[in-house]
């Protein structure tokens, strides 16, 4: 029930920006939300809102760049390639999940296009993380 509610809330916010099929959201929930909650950090992984904010902020709000970087990470998750270094320290790097190119694109879109409500603790918490922008040049425009 909880996950259905999450899904419905994700769905209504995603569709504000882009057309994302219900099927994509179900696939996303199945493949990703066994570890990632929407807003809460759990014992397995950082919440979706944190991924959304870190990737958008490091790309200066450029959604295309943020999506490309998520796709690059999903294709080959690695400690060096991860932008969320503190999360890697805390949880170890995300395991590689076999995804098609289409799924990588769709899931990156869900992560970037969803309008999450930013929790109050977020800015304070992430100030301490000293996020580093990735080197330019390794992202296709
Ligand atoms: C088995 C648990 C697990 C599953 C399933 C999972 N993740 Fe993760 N994910 C993690 C953990 C742990 C991290 C934090 C460590 C890291 O950043 O690599 C993470 C981090 C991430 C990051 C940020 C990477 C970075 O550091 O820059 C992205 C993007 C991401 N996940 C996307 C996804 C997507 C999309 C799916 C579904 C296809 C998914 N995850 C499924 C465990 C999981």
The answer as to whether 134 is a domain residue is no
Q: What is the mean pLDDT of residues 94-121?
A: 92
Look at residue 137 in the predicted model and tell me its pLDDT. 47
**Cα–Cα distance list, 115 to 11, 15, 23, 30, 125 (Å):** 10, 9, 19, 20, 20
The answer as to whether 62 is a domain residue is yes
User: Residue 15 belongs to what domain range?
Assistant: 2-127
The answer as to whether 133 is a domain residue is no
3-state secondary structure the chain: CHHHHHHHHHHHHHHHHCCCCHHHHHHHHHHHCCCCCCCCCCCCCCCHHHHHHHHHHHCCCCHHHHHHHHHHHHHCCCCCCCCCHHHHHHHCCCCCCCCCHHHHHHHHHHHHHCCCCCCCHHHHHHHCCCCCCCCCCCCCC
Contact call for residues 7 and 26 (beta carbons, < 8 A)? yes
Q: How many domains does the chain have?
A: 1
Find the angle CA(10)-CA(91)-CA(71) to the nearest 5 degrees: 50
Predicted model pTM: 0.87
The answer as to whether 83 is a domain residue is yes
HSE value, Cβ hemisphere, 13 Å, CA-based, for 133? 11
Best residue for ligand 1 mutational test, from 14, 40, 45 (most atoms within 8 Å of Cβ): 45
The answer as to whether 135 is a domain residue is no
Report which of residues 14 and 125 the model is more confident about.
125
Atom 29, ligand 1: which residue's CA is nearest? 70
pLDDT band of 20, cuts 50, 70, 90? confident
Atom 31, ligand 1: which residue's CA is nearest? 94
| Percent of the chain surpassing pLDDT 70 | 77
Ligand 1 centre distance from Cα of residue 94 (Å): 5
Look at residue 108 in the predicted model and tell me its pLDDT. 97
Atom 19, ligand 1: which residue's CA is nearest? 94
Which of 72-76, 103-107, 114-118, 127-131 is the least confident region? 127-131
Atom 9, ligand 1: which residue's CA is nearest? 94
The answer as to whether 136 is a domain residue is no
pLDDT at residue 56 greater than cutoff 60:
yes
């Amino acid at each position: 029930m909880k996950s259905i509610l999450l899904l419905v809330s994700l769905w209504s916010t995603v569709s504000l920006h882009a057309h994302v099929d219900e099927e994509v959201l179900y696939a996303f929930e199945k493949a990703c939300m066994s570890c990632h909650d929407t807003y809460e950090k759990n014992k397995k992984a950082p919440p979706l809102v944190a991924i959304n904010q870190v990737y958008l902020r490091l790309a200066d709000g450029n959604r295309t760049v943020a999506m490309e970087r998520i796709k690059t990470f999903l294709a080959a998750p690695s400690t060096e390639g991860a932008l969320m270094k503190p999360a890697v320290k805390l949880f170890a790097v995300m395991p590689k999940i076999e995804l098609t190119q289409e799924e990588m694109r769709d899931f990156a879109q869900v992560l970037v296009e969803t309008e999450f409500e930013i929790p109050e603790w977020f800015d304070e918490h992430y100030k301490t993380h000293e996020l580093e922008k990735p080197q330019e040049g390794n992202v296709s425009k």
